[in-house]
């Protein structure tokens, strides 16, 4: 009985040390790092299994609202409890990169199952990243084009070569094409975060206006951030045009449009 009691006591006292070691490793990986949350998950309470898979179908969040500032990591048993604040991404056109921007109090709690996990870094890398380009398949096609990532298999075929601005055929025929005319243009909405910090910018969207005057294959040409790019794509997808004409026939053409997000005084 004394031997059994001693073994039980040793086991009980070994757990806190193991948990503290795990916590130190996770803190080293997560605290004070410019991280992004993979999966574009919204909401303020998320949970992941020991493989890094989300445990629920969480709402979608814009890519430029996926930044995280992790404040605290606490390991309790086989669970890591992570407290973080969401951070916005704002595009600096001159620098050609995103900068992190505080969007006010937007707290997030994340639970991660650690049962059976031996490689903490690999698990955390399945949930977090520090590179926007590493989002891969998580990004919508209109963002993939910006990062030159492969598009989804079901993406509509691009227009023929004559509509490629880099093509000599396109340049030779450009004068013969009457450009499309905008018929209806719904106003874009502001994201809550952009409105909160009075964020005003101009987003540029590249698209194909097909022969019926409907936008197709939208892509972000110059982003702005803070969730406004998704709002721009949503608005532009509802634009309607009188189609471009060539030799008396409607044709599809490539078009760029600017979407102005401006908060007046």
Domains of the chain: 2-135 (no CATH), 144-261 (3.30.2420.10)
Query: How far, in Å, CA of 26 to CA of 88, rounded?
Result: 23
- pLDDT attached to residue 146: 87
Q: What is the pTM of this model?
A: 0.82
Q: Residue 7: its pLDDT value, please?
A: 38
CB atoms within 10 A of CB 26: 22
Alpha carbon distance 263, 238 (integer Å): 22
In which band, very low, low, confident or very high, does the pLDDT at 174 lie, cut at 50, 70 and 90? low
The per-residue pLDDT for 118 is: 87
Give the 3-state secondary structure percentages of the chain, helix then strand then coil, rounded to 5: 30, 35, 35
Burial 63-99 (b: 16+ CB within 10 A, else e): bbbbbbbbeebebeeeebebebbbbbbbbeeeeeebe
The average pLDDT across 68-93 equals 94
Given a cut of 50, whether residue 224 has pLDDT beyond it is yes
For the segment 30-56, the average pLDDT, to the nearest whole number, is: 95
Q: How far, in Å, CA of 228 to CA of 262, rounded? A: 11
Closest to 182 measured CA to CA, from 221, 220, 213, 217: 213
3-state secondary structure labels for all residues of 52-93 = CCECCCCCECCHHHCEEEEEEEEEECCEEEEEEEEEEEEEEC
Average pLDDT (104-118) is 90
Q: Average model confidence (pLDDT) for the chain? A: 84
Give the separation between CA 127 and CA 121, rounded to whole angstroms.
Answer: 10
Given a contact cutoff of 8 angstroms between Cβ atoms, the answer to whether 89 and 191 are in contact is no
**DSSP secondary structure string for all residues of 105-149:** EEEEEEEEE-TT---HHHHHHHHEES-GGGGGGGS-HHHHTTTTP
pLDDT level of residue 176 (50, 70, 90 thresholds):
confident
Q: How many CA atoms lie within 13 A of 202 on its CB side?
A: 5
- pLDDT value at position 173? 52
């Amino acid at each position: 009985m004394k031997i059994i009691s001693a073994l039980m006591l040793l086991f009980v006292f070994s757990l806190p040390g193991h948990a503290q070691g795990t916590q130190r490793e996770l803190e080293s990986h997560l605290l004070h790092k410019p991280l992004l949350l993979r999966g574009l998950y919204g909401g303020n309470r998320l949970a992941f299994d020991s493989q890094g898979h989300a445990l629920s179908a969480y709402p979608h969040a814009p890519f430029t609202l996926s930044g995280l500032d992790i404040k605290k990591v606490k390991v309790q048993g086989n669970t890591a409890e992570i407290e973080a604040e969401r951070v916005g991404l704002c595009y600096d056109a001159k620098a050609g990169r995103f900068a992190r921007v505080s969007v006010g109090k937007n707290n997030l709690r994340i639970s991660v199952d650690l049962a059976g996990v031996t490689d903490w870094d690999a698990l955390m890398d399945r949930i977090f990243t520090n590179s926007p380009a590493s989002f891969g398949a998580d990004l919508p096609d209109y963002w993939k084009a910006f990062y030159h990532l492969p598009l989804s298999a079901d993406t509509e075929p691009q227009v023929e070569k004559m509509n490629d601005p880099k093509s000599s055929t396109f340049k030779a025929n450009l004068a013969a094409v009457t450009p499309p005319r905008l018929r209806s243009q719904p106003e874009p909405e502001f994201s809550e975060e952009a409105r909160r910090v009075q964020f005003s910018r101009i987003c540029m969207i590249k698209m194909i206006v097909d022969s019926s005057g409907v936008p197709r294959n939208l892509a972000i040409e110059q982003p702005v951030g803070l969730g406004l790019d998704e709002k721009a794509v949503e608005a532009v997808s509802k634009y309607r045009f009188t189609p471009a004409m060539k030799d008396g026939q409607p044709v599809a053409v490539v078009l760029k449009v600017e979407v102005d997000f401006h908060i007046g005084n």
